[in-house]
A and B are shown apart, each in its own frame.
Chain A
């Protein structure tokens, strides 16, 4: 165990300012790195997506993976194996407490693949200690956290990329180009969908957590509750205590193409309908339909595909309706329909949007150039916000009016209360 890892938590809170006040730190990111410089990476959260992070990043020649962290010893040991199998010379330090990684001044980047309720604290404490972050989707557990993450990023001049890797696809870039060219006319309606929703997960009895899992740390800022396996790895996202279900999981992938293409603004109202699973302890939407009114744009989210040609075959998709035509797409496909004729592309429309070198590469380049990557925090926060608001409308079972300047609901204190959540002691969200 390194000397740093022996610093006790209380001392840590005083010095790094997680939840207290930002602490003076020499930010290594103010100066550009040379393209050949090695980026020293640590991975926090090593489950399904965390394993992908380890494989993706360790494959880059300018990355050195120096640390892994997980609150589950079994997963941590497995993560080490995953890393060593893709890079036999790797010798990562293993941690059960992410704050020991934050303490280290020789780490440039952390990637975060924890459950949603940890995203903000991990990113913010990384920013405060001068590290850049590649963070998994969704951006944060609450709307308020997204706001504070952006404040923190700006204050500490950091780089952030959200793990919405489909953003980097050729298809998304081309869809945005076609729509922005005006070929479909002005877009007045967008329909987004994702088939299926959260399962109920049954009513399993509570259990003593396995000794290899630090359940208290897994819960972190979330309310304390008894352990049962389905609350934890793999299915935590179906609980409002930690996430927002399948809807929150997939919103940012498909709303992304809408924001890339038409950048909706002036959100005025959100009206969600739906139902919880009812056959288990999970409580996020089994189905959810939402009507959003933006300035000059109607957006509809549905759990079943809309009745438009080609949508039924797409498990997830977006359908743009313009004055002259429509475009229906998913991650890899697009169908353009103008004047009764359909096509996959319009060759007259030039390429105008730079292509991504790959989502992770785009991030690593940003770490070196200090120019924010494509799925940067400012962009993804704006793109993620309607998802949080829709879930509040779903939970309160009422239509909500939104003041997009003040960023608060109009005349609904309970809805505003749900924009944030007070953390369980000793955790707290910083106030800048």
Chain B
């Protein structure tokens, strides 16, 4: 009986863990307007109709998240018109989305029929699907895109279609490992469309311990990604980074030192949000007093002084 109870307890914990995981998804689309999104082009490519995000004008502006993401699970539902053509841009810079990032394809199969390297679920032109998904138009499908450092996994309707280890894809070398997520506007004929709903994201980098692991990677690109992500995350990374500075690991020390500087540099910009400065300043002050290392303490005091100039004006 006791064993059964323990089993049940373990099962409950696991189950709750999963449930929590699910809860950690954040909705990116409110069903009413495009709050949280940017449409940088002159001609709008998207509108919201009856709770649905609609890509309909031909070759209008792409739509990008306001935030940048490095590691994440992005999921949404989509519905394509008869010869609909759209896609999801990941880890891109909106000024040059296809040059800096890649596109996960969304395509009706009779546009004409395209191969596995260019069909729905493929990383368009870079990685083919190895399990072609249901491409029926006019019905809703669910897509999930997981970017876990250099590993990309794409699923459609609950089945994995595509997996990619960026290091093994020569043509993807030099692509960003952080950036914005975007939807491509209607890339088909006038009158065709793509619909989207239930758009949400699980940002893996919200967990400082996940980001921290990147700093210990033997791969300099992953370390660079960890540094960039730290700057997006700002204050939530400060404590972990300071702990890393005190470790007897010169790679972690150097990465943490640079990331702390970059965080302070970013929030010291004249147009940065003042509240974040106060939060980081408070942490630097507390940690500089607590640090066991005089070298770390002096460095934090120096950063604090730089930051304080921007707070006191």
Do the beta carbons of B250 and A224 come within 8 Å of each other?
A: no
Name the distance in Å between B84's Cβ and chain A's nearest Cβ.
Answer: 39
The answer on a CB contact under 8 Å between B295 and A225 is yes
Q: Which residues of A contact B262 (CB under 8 A)?
A: 397
Residues of B within 8 A of A411 (CB): 270
Closest residue of A by beta carbon distance from B298 = A223
Residue in A closest to B266 when the chains form the complex, CB atoms: A397
Interface 0/1 of B219-259, CB less than 8 Å to A:
01001100000000000000000000000001101100110
Q: How far is the CB of A56 from chain B (nearest CB, A)?
A: 37
A228 to B224, CA, bound (A): 23
A318 to chain B minimum Cβ distance, whole angstroms, is: 30
Query: Which residues of B line the A interface, CB within 8 A?
Result: 220, 223-224, 250-251, 253-254, 257-258, 261-262, 264-266, 268-270, 294-295, 298-299, 302, 305-307, 309-310, 313
Known pairs A397-B266, A398-B269; A283 contacts B258 (CB<8 A): yes
Q: Classify the interface of chain B: helix, strand, loop or mixed.
A: helix
Are B306 and A418 in contact (CB-based, < 8 A)?
Answer: yes
Question: When the two chains form their complex, are residues A279 and B266 in contact, meaning their CB atoms are under 8 A apart?
Answer: no
CB–CB A396/B295 < 8 A? no
Contact present for A226 and B265 (CB under 8 Å): no
Can you name 29 A-B residue pairings with CB atoms under 8 Å? A203-B251, A204-B250, A205-B250, A206-B250, A223-B295, A224-B294, A224-B295, A224-B298, A225-B295, A276-B258, A278-B220, A278-B223, A278-B224, A281-B254, A396-B268, A412-B268, A412-B269, A412-B270, A413-B310, A414-B265, A414-B269, A414-B306, A414-B307, A414-B309, A414-B310, A417-B306, A417-B309, A418-B306, A422-B302
Q: Mark A393-432, 1 if CB is under 8 A from B, else 0.
A: 0011110000000000001111011100010000000000
Partner of B254, one of A226, A283, A418: A283
Complex Cα–Cα for A106 and B298 (A): 40
Chain A residues whose C-beta falls within 8 Å of the C-beta of B251 in the assembled complex: 203
Query: Is A310 on the interface with B (CB-CB < 8 A)?
Result: no
Given that A223-B298, A223-B302, A414-B306 are known contacts, is A395 also in contact with B250, CB under 8 Å in the complex?
no
A424 to chain B, nearest CB (A): 8
Minimum Cβ distance to chain B for residue A326 (Å): 31
- Closest-CB distance, A242 to chain B (whole angstroms): 15
Contacts of B302 in A (CB 8 A): 223, 422
Tell yes or no: A280 within 8 A of B by CB.
Answer: yes
Q: Which of A343-401 contact B (CB under 8 A)?
A: 395-398
Contacts A413-B313, A418-B306 given; indicate if A203 touches B298 (C-beta within 8 A). no
Q: Smallest distance from the beta carbon of A212 to chain B beta carbons, Å?
A: 23
A277 to B, closest residue via Cβ: B220
Assuming A203-B254, A278-B220, A417-B305, what are 19 further A-B pairs, CB within 8 angstroms?
A203-B250, A204-B250, A223-B295, A224-B294, A224-B295, A225-B295, A226-B295, A228-B250, A278-B224, A281-B250, A283-B257, A283-B258, A395-B265, A397-B262, A397-B266, A411-B270, A414-B306, A414-B307, A414-B309
How far is B309's CA from A422's CA once the two chains are assembled, in angstroms?
14
Name the distance in Å between A10's Cβ and chain B's nearest Cβ. Answer: 23
The chain A residue with its CB closest to the CB of B223 is A278
A305 to chain B: closest CB distance in Å?
21
Residues of chain B contacted by A412 (CB below 8 angstroms): 268-270
Residue among B254, B258, B299 having the largest count of chain A Cβ atoms under 10 Å? B254
B265 touches A413 (CB 8 A): no
Chain B residue with minimal CB distance to A201? B254
Find the B residue at minimum CB distance from A283. B258
Complex contacts, A422 vs chain B, CB 8 Å: 302
Min C-beta distance of A226 to chain B, whole Å: 7
A249-281: which have CB < 8 Å to B? 276, 278-281
CA A321 to CA B262, docked complex, whole Å: 36
Closest A residue to B295 by CB, please name it.
A225
Which residue of A has the minimal Cβ distance to B254? A281
- Distance in angstroms from A201 CB to nearest chain B CB is 10
Q: How far is the CA of A279 from the CA of B305 in the complex (A)?
A: 28
- Chain B residues within 8 Å of A223, by CB: 295, 298-299, 302
Smallest CB gap from A411: residue in B: B270
Closest to B251 in A: A203
Q: Report the bound CA distance from A395 to B261 in whole Å.
A: 9
Q: Which residues does chain A contribute within 8 Å of B305, judged by CB atoms? A: 417
Residue of chain B at shortest CB distance from A410: B270
Bound: A418/B306 CA distance, A: 8
**Residues of chain B within 8 A of A205, CB atoms compared:** 250
Give me the 7 closest cross-chain CB pairs, A-B, nearest first: A414-B268, A413-B309, A203-B251, A203-B250, A281-B254, A396-B265, A417-B306
Cβ–Cβ < 8 Å partners of A281 in chain B? 250, 253-254
Within the assembled complex, what's the spacing in Å between the Cα atoms of A352 and B258? 50
> In the complex, which residues of chain B have a beta carbon less than 8 angstroms from the beta carbon of A418?
306
Which residues of chain A are within 8 angstroms of B250 by Cβ–Cβ distance? 203-206, 228, 281
- Distance in angstroms between the alpha carbons of A249 and B265 in the assembled complex: 24
CA A337 to CA B129, docked complex, whole Å: 56
